[in-house]
């Protein structure tokens, strides 16, 4: 088929390349000229393992190209951002704009698929009213639905192929046509359902994870109060065949887990009570950690902290919605000087010991693999204090203590 993909970000670009590598002719559309320029030179401007060579290959084969405007096609896939506003409301302007953008190119028999994570009812209440302006009969002359992504950054190309997938349609034939299209490269199961169910499934998967992380974070606070090591409790409980307690941390970041539950809360504010409380618990964690830092530094004049790790999760370069950045801002607002280090963030790369110079406390914010072996002696030599606060139960505590650090940990 000829496929037109609107939005060439973390999902749209890998998906475009995957279709282009499996027999389709793909036109990638993005409003950022830099993305289109790079693409047509066979290169990319996002970080994802092996994606650059994968894209280069299909661009050179001529099955993937970029343009600023859509063209007629057999299928249109919308994979644009669905961010959240300050008031925690879904910002659907990009989905609205993308749907309007493809309208002039829609033809009888076409398929329109929303991939972006969206509130329940987006396909039916936001997209169909626009697509009906084509004059085509929805579900008979134009097939529409939602097929959400569940890939994890860093393993996108593998998971695109091997994850099972949901194909939600405004009617059965739409769901079937969507499933058939993804069968081009999906080796996992493809489950068909209606569009609303597909929309809620995506939100539910991430909300399930958010609630479980909130449970771990609340357990960490309880354990501190009861003088118990939460990490040992979790490790022992997870020996139970049907228990899988998640990991406490300084908060929940990224533009998925921290965002998607709000799409459910917005639609069902009075019923989504547990979901809402979990969000509040996770969003409180930067403050909770900051309070510990103030306690540890209360006798220090002009305290300074070095934070190791700023991204939203380990071994990625993405700092969007990172809870550690919120923690850094909180500390600075309360008169604590903050020095930053992160091997994945250009502005903060460099020597760890140097980043600790003059600091009274080092805080491990993200468990990047590189931080498993820290130059403890050099760090202490550069520091003005000897405190270490671990938010991830990750640092090699015995070697830090042996070098002279006083080590504290979230949840212990
Ligand atoms: N986190 C914890 N404790 C945990 C697990 C994660 O504090 O036990 C934190 C991480 O540090 C990070 C945040 O939660 O700040 C999100 O981490 P994540 O591991 O959930 O990573 P994401 O957001 O990149 O991926 C999730 C995945 N969803 C699920 O696992 C249900 C992925 O499959 C989705 O495709 C992705 O969201 C998405 O794009 O929706």
The whole-number pLDDT of residue 34 equals 96
| Environment class of 41 (CB within 10 Å of its CB; exposed 0-12, middle 13-18, buried 19+) | exposed
Q: Is 278 in the pocket of ligand 1 (CB under 6 A)?
A: no
Residues 6+ apart with CB under 8 A from 162: 187, 188
Q: How far is the CA of 191 from the centre of ligand 1 (A)?
A: 23
Distance CA 336, CA 222 (A): 27
b vs e for 310-326, b when ≥16 Cβ sit within 10 Å of the residue's Cβ?
bbbbbebbbbebbbbbb
The values of phi and psi at residue 407, to 5°, are -100, 130
2-188 and 280-409 agree in CATH topology: yes
C-beta neighbour count of 187 within 10 angstroms: 11
Which pLDDT tens digits describe the chain residue by residue (412 residues)? 999 999 999 999 999 999 999 999 999 999 999 999 999 999 998 888 899 999 999 999 999 999 999 999 999 999 999 999 999 999 999 999 999 999 999 999 999 999 999 999 999 999 999 999 999 999 999 999 999 999 998 899 999 999 999 999 999 999 999 999 999 999 999 999 999 999 999 999 999 999 999 999 999 999 999 999 999 999 999 999 999 999 999 999 998 999 999 999 999 999 999 999 999 999 999 999 999 999 999 999 999 999 999 999 998 888 888 999 999 999 999 999 999 999 999 999 999 999 999 999 999 999 999 999 999 999 999 999 999 999 999 999 999 999 999 999 999 9
Distance CA 274, CA 259 (A): 15
Residue found by looking up tokens 């993804």 in the block:
182
Instruction: Give the residue extent of every domain in the chain.
Output: 2-188, 280-409
Instruction: Work out which ligand 1 atom sits closest to the CA atom of 321.
Output: 15
Top-level class of domain 2-188: alpha beta
Instruction: Work out which ligand 1 atom sits closest to the CA atom of 152.
Output: 32
The whole-number pLDDT of residue 47 equals 81
Distance CA 240, CA 377 (A): 40
Top-level class of domain 280-409: alpha beta
Instruction: Return the residue whose CA atom lies nearest to atom 14 of ligand 1.
Output: 252
Residue found by looking up tokens 């993200």 in the block:
366
CA-nearest of 55, 26, 27, 22 to 41 is 55
Distance CA 407, CA 45 (A): 39
The whole-number pLDDT of residue 318 equals 87
The whole-number pLDDT of residue 316 equals 86
Question: Which of 12, 257, 344 should be mutated for ligand 1, with most atoms under 8 A from CB?
Answer: 257
Task: Using DSSP, state whether 128 is helix, strand or coil.
Answer: helix
Instruction: Work out which ligand 1 atom sits closest to the CA atom of 313.
Output: 11
């Amino acid at each position: 088929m000829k496929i037109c993909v609107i939005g060439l970000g973390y999902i749209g670009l890998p998906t475009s390349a995957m279709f282009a590598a499996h027999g389709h002719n793909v036109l990638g559309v993005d409003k950022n000229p830099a993305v289109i320029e790079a693409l047509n030179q066979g290169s990319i401007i996002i970080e994802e393992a092996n994606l650059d060579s994968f894209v280069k290959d299909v661009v050179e084969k001529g099955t993937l190209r970029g343009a600023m405007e859509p063209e007629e096609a057999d299928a249109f896939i919308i994979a644009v951002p669905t961010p959240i506003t300050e008031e925690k409301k879904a910002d659907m302007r990009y989905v609205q704009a993308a749907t309007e953008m493809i309208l002039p190119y829609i033809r009888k028999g076409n398929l329109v698929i929303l991939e972006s994570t969206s509130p329940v009812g987006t396909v039916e209440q936001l997209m169909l009213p626009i697509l009906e302006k084509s004059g085509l009969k929805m579900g008979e002359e134009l097939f529409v639905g939602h097929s959400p992504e569940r890939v994890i950054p860093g393993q996108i190309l593998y998971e695109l192929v091997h994850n099972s997938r949901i194909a939600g349609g405004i009617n059965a034939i739409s769901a079937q046509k969507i499933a058939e299209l993804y069968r081009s490269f999906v080796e996992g199961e493809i489950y068909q359902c209606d569009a609303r169910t597909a929309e809620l499934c995506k939100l539910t998967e991430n909300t399930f994870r958010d609630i479980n992380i909130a449970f771990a974070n609340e357990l960490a606070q309880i354990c501190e109060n009861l003088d118990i090591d939460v990490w040992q409790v979790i490790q022992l409980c997870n020996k139970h065949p049907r228990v899988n307690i998640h990991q406490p941390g300084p908060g929940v970041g990224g533009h998925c887990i921290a965002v998607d539950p709000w799409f459910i809360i917005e639609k069902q504010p009075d019923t989504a009570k547990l979901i809402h409380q979990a969000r509040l618990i996770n969003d409180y964690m930067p403050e909770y950690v900051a309070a510990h830092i103030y306690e540890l530094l209360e006798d220090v004049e002009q305290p300074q902290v070095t934070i190791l790790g700023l991204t939203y999760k380990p071994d990625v370069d993405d700092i969007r919605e990172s809870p550690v950045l919120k923690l850094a801002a909180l500390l600075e607002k309360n008169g604590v000087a903050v020095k930053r280090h992160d091997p994945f963030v250009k502005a903060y790369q460099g020597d760890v010991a140097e980043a600790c110079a003059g600091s009274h406390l080092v805080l491990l914010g993200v468990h990047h693999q590189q931080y498993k072996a820290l130059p403890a002696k050099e760090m202490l030599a550069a520091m003005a204090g000897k405190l270490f606060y671990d938010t991830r139960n990750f640092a090699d505590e015995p070697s830090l203590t042996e070098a002279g650090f006083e080590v504290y940990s979230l949840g212990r």
